[in-house]
Structure 1
């Protein structure tokens, strides 16, 4: 039986990633091309490229005129970036503590944090709403950041703790011998080595936050704090839906999250391809 070389495994890994990217981006492609077509063309030929006869920007003009769409974008960016920052920071700190230090209840603490992966946070919507009302945080972006941080921490701790267990103890002990504090060891030695894992956490955490409708509708429905997903619902009616505006809003909403995905996916792909050639 022929043995696969590291080069062939790397090529196979890149081929799989390319195929996955094409499949994943096809719905995005369909949404974008239809956002530039008239309503009649959308239903007549949904997979066709816009032509001079079918090209129409009515969806974008409607989106930009109706509602403060740029404010919705800004709110979504603040909530997403803020939540990612706290998820990665606190998740990495907790994972480092669980993987590095042995104490009574270490395993139980890890299992307790992992329960958040299995139990949906939406089950506690009523209690969360009551808590936010009591704290005076309803209709604020802070409420959304707090909820999404709590939502993303279990997965972050679960993934990062497994990666941090693989970091060499000799490297960390050498840092301690050189007089580095535990904070310096964490930020300068451990974090750079687990960047692919942090990119994985960021990718899997970012998309649900950006696309979520439930908590913005419950905790922050006011006009000045609406997110892009909640703001797009104005074009969806009970009896009539403005598909041109909906597709245009979705196309505009794709751009920021696609940029964030590309930023984090570089580390994600680097980690996958590095593992393929070992």
Structure 2
């Protein structure tokens, strides 16, 4: 009976902690959304108040939809983010499988070289990256952003996924080889399904820097046809006057994909973060 009570207490404690962290994390999102539905005067008068009949105003969303091509910005961000995540997960998983599965000369050095990307910010090479894109004719293209974000996300993906893949049963992989499966089939059909929590973790942690980035879209793809949602929102921020209704409305709309992805991958994300922590 005491063990059952302790188990129930731990369960309620874990749920309480999860709810607390969720409330803390979502509070800024809540403030942003409610203020995007209020008039400018109401935003500064009481930013924490809910919109009421006297303060409710959709002028921010109307401005966002009328000024600039918001749907094009949104489509550009989705294209860049989805394509970058696909290549990060695919190439990162392949490199992690090779490093964790095969022993060859330079294995450790290769892993260290890939891990250096976590410690050295890619923005330090902005000038060289810009020169490469100019020479390749990729300036003001979404391809330039996809290439940069793929390179940015690979080190973390390899580092996390290689640790998980080392824990995949060697007997399972050897049994597959005995049954005549080639290395590609073993990788895609046996290994990848077992590391889905780790891949969800990599996807979420890679998504946010890509979706919210302003630096590389401003440097590599500032044209109207290639602007991302984050860069497009800056049009409402001026040197002397800022349209806060439009800024908050644009940010509220930009938050939606991140929340949807979190809801989809939340269970896999938690499993990936806590794997091995509790026995």
Q: What's the TM-score, normalizing by structure 2?
A: 0.95
Q: How many aligned positions are there?
A: 277
Distance 1:249 1:192, change over 3 A: same
Q: Which residue of 2 aligns with 1:247?
A: 248
User: Structure 1's 272 and 219: CA in aligned 2 closer, same or farther, altered over 3 A?
Assistant: closer
Tell me the alpha carbon deviations over residues 118-154 of structure 1, each in whole angstroms, 9 at most, x when there is no partner: 0000000000000000111000000000000000000
1:51-130 equivalent positions in 2, closer than 5 A: 51-130=52-131
1:46 maps to which residue? 47
List alignment gaps of at least 5 residues for structure 1: none
RMSD (Å), alpha carbons: 1.7
Secondary structure of 2:189 counterpart = helix
Contact 1:32 1:248 in 2 (8 A): yes
Deviations 1:207-242 (A, max 9, x none): 000000000000000000100000000000000000
Give 2:206's aligned residue.
205
1:143 & 1:225 partners in 2: Cα distance?
10
Question: For the Cα contact (< 8 Å) 2:39–2:245, is it kept in 1?
Answer: yes
- Comparing 109-118 with 12-21, greater Cα deviation is found at 12-21
With normalisation by structure 1, the TM-score equals 0.95
Structure 2 runs not aligned, ≥5 long:
none
* 1:156-167 equivalence runs, <5 A: 156-167=157-168
Structure 1 residue 260: Cα displacement: 1.8
Q: Report the Cα distance in structure 2 between the residues aligned to 1:168 and 1:275, rounded to whole angstroms.
A: 15
- Give the whole-Å Cα distance in 2 for the aligned partners of 1:207 and 1:277: 27
230-239 vs 14-23, which deviates more? 14-23
Relative contact order higher in (CA < 8 Å, ≥ 6 apart): 1
Q: Determine the C-alpha separation between the residues in 2 that align with 1:12 and 1:75.
A: 42
**Whole-angstrom distance in 2 between the partners of 1:273 and 1:157:** 18
Moved more, 152-161 or 262-271: 262-271
Partner residue in 1 for 2:259: 258
